[in-house]
Structure 1
């Protein structure tokens, strides 16, 4: 009796029937592969290291230049001397009291300026009468450097906090206004025509179509204004400051403490980075639908 050998059944390919039938292929992409997650972690770590590489090299070169005597410590203190200056400011409590004071000035001026710029930008962008009333004067005023307004603000508001906040307020209006106005006027007219076809009123078109479409441009203006507020803060705190980072810089200048001057400048830079990161988070929360496009 001859035994018939059993033929092995080939594995069934679930994609083969779809390829044979010419139908669509559905691939489950809901669960990422472990290798993909590991690769993502490696990429994140490498990006962080690459970002920290250049600052670390610059700090090392800075320290070496001072240690080798190529630059006088009185002219350019080393990073270790600046670190000691930070320790001195922390021990005396000056740094802890200066940062909240300066941040309060910048945030109050930014809030007032951004609110005014947003309102004027929407008014000029949505209504022709607003453009005729405000666009030309604001375009002329924005060409005036805000530092040139310091003597006038001192005459108007004195040398107290009002002059400092007014300077920051005047500097932050224009970035928000320009980006809001450009964003509103840049809305595709086909979207507005489609909204009219569906019977939306002018108010609903503005609220549901124009403002959401212009939101990316508005947020860019807010982000730019946040940086400008710190630039204006540096100038504002030179007006008879009795507290804040500017007061530390003025006192250090009088005592010829270059290390504390550079430490104060670095604080301004760090505040700028923190504010920019906050604005990026706000952009991601407000615009979750916008993709992050990079070439490589």
Structure 2
């Protein structure tokens, strides 16, 4: 009688468990790969646009080719116009952002902490927020004329509201249990605000900053339609008079590029200031 080879009995559950452990974990894409993928669609769109323009499918008067727009940008840089106008617009936007952001943060902090301040301020602020930029424009011209003050005022006005709303929302959404815990551990009101309330409200405040950056450029476009002799908006208005579609599209692309860069700066600020937060730390889900 031949002997059979020894075959130990293994429980079915253990076999499944071993197979699960042996299965390789799915590979996560690195940051560089994700960044490359995010630029894939815009690059493909520009390529299709260029090919369509070269094939004559798109009229140059309607939408010039990207190569034509790049040549126009280089010509304006050599003339010294583009850099000067870009710097002027950036200065206006930055000044208005600092002024409007500071006012929005202070008002939002007051309303977030005080129901009395909310009763005094919030309804008036919401009424002003509902007024479109174009409706305010004639009054701004009466107040400030065509000087820089009117343009900075419009940018500040647009920036103030997103930061105000998100500051109030962030303060009101702080977990009451954390406040109770802080009081139990002996923190006074100032320490509660500095260590618990403001850090807890920071994600919402920074979300308001990102939204305010986009609104700042929208307000600047409206502001630079006021009689002016410099800025990206003036460059577009001047090109409209001479039917320079390439310059108009160039200014639109500049606004888009600045918006992408400012949003990237805001994201970097989020990662630095919110490194303690699991959703913003390195490798955290966004």
Give the TM-score category using the shorter length: 0.7 to 0.9
Query: Partner of 1:63 in structure 2?
Result: 50
Alpha-carbon distance, 1:45 to partner: 4.5
Alignment partners' CA distance in 2, 1:279 and 1:82: 28
Change (3 A) 1:45 1:135: closer
Change (3 A) 1:123 1:44: closer
Alpha-carbon distance, 1:210 to partner: 1.0
Alpha-carbon distance, 1:44 to partner: 4.2
Alignment partners' CA distance in 2, 1:258 and 1:85: 10
Segments of structure 1 that go 5 or more residues without pairing to the other structure are: 1-35
Change (3 A) 1:221 1:49: closer
Change (3 A) 1:280 1:73: same
Deviates more, 1:141-150 or 1:238-247: 141-150
Query: Partner of 2:156 in structure 1?
Result: 169
Query: Partner of 1:267 in structure 2?
Result: 254
Alignment partners' CA distance in 1, 2:178 and 2:38: 41
> Residue 130 in 1 paired to residue 146 in 2?
no
* Rg comparison, structure with higher value: 1
Q: Deviations over 1:192-233 (max 9, x none)?
A: 122222332222222222111111111111111111101111
Alignment partners' CA distance in 1, 2:80 and 2:109: 44
1:184-195, aligned counterparts within 5 Å? 184-195=171-182
Alignment partners' CA distance in 1, 2:133 and 2:221: 12
TM-score scaled by structure 2?
A: 0.85
Deviates more, 1:256-265 or 1:124-133: 124-133
Query: Partner of 1:286 in structure 2?
Result: 273
Change (3 A) 1:171 1:45: closer
Alignment partners' CA distance in 2, 1:207 and 1:131: 21
Query: Partner of 1:179 in structure 2?
Result: 166
Change (3 A) 1:174 1:102: same
1:102-251, aligned counterparts within 5 Å? 102-251=89-238
Alignment partners' CA distance in 2, 1:162 and 1:140: 23
Alignment partners' CA distance in 2, 1:128 and 1:51: 43
Q: Deviations over 1:149-169 (max 9, x none)?
A: 111111111111011000001
Alignment partners' CA distance in 2, 1:44 and 1:284: 14
* Partner-residue secondary structure (3-state), 1:102: helix
> Which of 60, 72, 81 matches 2:59?
72
TM-score scaled by structure 1?
A: 0.82
Alignment partners' CA distance in 2, 1:286 and 1:279: 10
Query: Partner of 2:13 in structure 1?
Result: none
* Partner-residue secondary structure (3-state), 1:238: coil
1:77-92, aligned counterparts within 5 Å? 77-92=64-79
Q: What is the RMSD of the two structures over their aligned residues, measured on CA atoms?
A: 1.8
Structure 1 residue ranges, 4+ long, deviating more than 4 angstroms after superposition: none
Segments of structure 2 that go 5 or more residues without pairing to the other structure are: 1-24
Query: Partner of 2:240 in structure 1?
Result: 253
Query: Partner of 2:7 in structure 1?
Result: none
Alpha-carbon distance, 1:83 to partner: 1.1
Alpha-carbon distance, 1:114 to partner: 0.5
